[in-house]
């Protein structure tokens, strides 16, 4: 058990070192040697968890969608929560920032079929399909189309904020994006009940931290 915990911590340390290297040098220029040095682990320890730079990139990308958020009475609130929690974590977790960068890196994206974006697209399509079936959305909404639109626009706003202000205003920018987009997605009665405040992500992430861990 202690050994298993140590394994989890080592795996995380390697992923965080990879994230730093990818963010600093870009995917192509980052080397496994850099990553080993930053993580302070041996080559053998790294290859036990990840057998290539590609596997490291895949690991960094998968961190983005592994967090499960609390269910909400309105399904569209869960769409908002996914976007806002991801945005909040982006500010505080270098691992998530690296994933965003990797998804926009031409070489990494070719090797990993669009990075994390298709994973987000599938997740939001599922939520929007359920919202649509429950009658929360306007008649013209096509769930897959809107899901991919939200993922694209959200990542674009993340990149813009990262470049312009180092993410210091990213939660306000995403709140603005969602307020605008939801006007063309949600029925008015649903719209009035949604919480799209800039600090929504922080509150959802705190709630997750208080949830009992599942088996």
**Rule CB under 8 A: which residues touch its own copies?**
23-29, 101, 103-107, 109, 113-115, 117-118, 145-146, 148-149, 151-161, 163-164, 173, 176-177, 179-181, 183-185
CA distance 92 to 83: 15
Provide, rounded to whole angstroms, the least separation between the CB of residue 140 and its own copies.
9
Kindly tell me which of 6 and 180 has the beta carbon lying closer to its own copies.
180
Kindly tell me which of 134 and 180 has the beta carbon lying closer to its own copies.
180
Provide, rounded to whole angstroms, the least separation between the CB of residue 8 and its own copies.
28
Provide, rounded to whole angstroms, the least separation between the CB of residue 151 and its own copies.
6
Provide, rounded to whole angstroms, the least separation between the CB of residue 131 and its own copies.
15
Provide, rounded to whole angstroms, the least separation between the CB of residue 74 and its own copies.
19
Kindly tell me which of 72 and 114 has the beta carbon lying closer to its own copies.
114
Kindly tell me which of 49 and 99 has the beta carbon lying closer to its own copies.
99
Kindly tell me which of 37 and 180 has the beta carbon lying closer to its own copies.
180
């Amino acid at each position: 058990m202690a050994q298993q915990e140590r394994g989890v911590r080592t795996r995380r340390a390697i992923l965080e070192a990879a994230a730093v290297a990818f963010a600093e040098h870009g995917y192509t220029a980052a080397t496994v040697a850099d990553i080993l040095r930053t993580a302070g682990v041996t080559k053998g320890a790294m290859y036990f968890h990840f057998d290539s730079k590609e596997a490291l990139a895949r690991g960094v990308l998968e961190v983005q969608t592994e967090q499960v958020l609390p269910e909400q009475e309105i399904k569209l609130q869960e769409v908002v929560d996914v976007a806002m929690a991801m945005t909040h974590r982006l500010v505080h977790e270098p691992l998530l920032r690296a994933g965003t960068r990797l998804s926009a890196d031409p070489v990494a994206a070719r090797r990993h079929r669009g990075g994390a974006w298709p994973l987000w697209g599938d997740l939001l399509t599922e939520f929007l399909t359920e919202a649509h079936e429950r009658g929360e959305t306007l008649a013209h909404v096509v769930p897959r189309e809107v899901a991919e639109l939200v993922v694209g626009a959200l990542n674009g706003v993340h990149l813009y904020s990262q470049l312009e202000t180092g993410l210091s205003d990213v939660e306000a920018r995403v709140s603005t994006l969602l307020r605008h987009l939801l006007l063309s997605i949600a029925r008015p009665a649903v719209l009035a009940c949604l919480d799209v405040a800039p600090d929504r992500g922080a509150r959802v992430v705190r709630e997750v931290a208080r949830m009992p861990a599942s088996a």
